Copies of this chain bind each other. A is one copy, B any other.
């Protein structure tokens, strides 16, 4: 088993994995048959199983690869980890396939993807904590939950990116689309409620709590 990084990647094994990386999110797991994957990679069906043991093994290899790449991309973001402003665009720069696969994996029961999700939350909490201390971000009574939910919303956006694109025309997985989305996201996370509504909403919640 080789290291799952981008260096040694002209091997047939890597070509098969890349084909699966494309097909699983696009067609789903079951419609991506071993035969179709093999054809896309330009090899025989038998070779897929020779390299990965089983179709499930191929899926696990894809999960591991994507998760590892994300961790590497994070380590390259010296400043803010996965919340470095450059992180997302660099991930997309390498390939939208990566982000697309992660979004898909989060909707299947992938242990690898779940672990990465947990790591992202933990890291986001740390970064947010630091930002609060620096006076950049507002504090919270339940910072862990708030951060987890905020991150889930952003990842949820990635999961539903096809719907977003259909309705708004914005493709969140390429740079141009991301540039269009950025000010909108900023607007949303800056708060869209007017202060007086905010107050009455707060009172409503206090009453029902």
Contacts and interface: CB of A to CB of B under 8 A. Distances in A.
A152 to B, nearest CB: 5
Interface in A122-176: 131, 135-138, 140, 142, 144-146, 148-150, 152-160, 163-164, 166-168, 170
A106 interface: yes
Given A114-B163, A188-B150, A194 B136 contact: yes
Given A136-B193, A191-B190, A193-B190, A106 B160 contact: yes
Contact of A196 (B135, B146, B164, B204): B135
A14 to B, nearest CB: 27
B202 A186 contact: yes
Interface stretch (A42-50, A58-66, A177-185): A177-185
A56 interface: no
Interface string A91-125: 00000000000000011100000100110010000
A192 B159 contact: no
Those 6 A-B pairs whose CB atoms lie nearest each other, nearest first: A156-B156, A191-B191, A153-B153, A136-B197, A30-B30, A145-B168
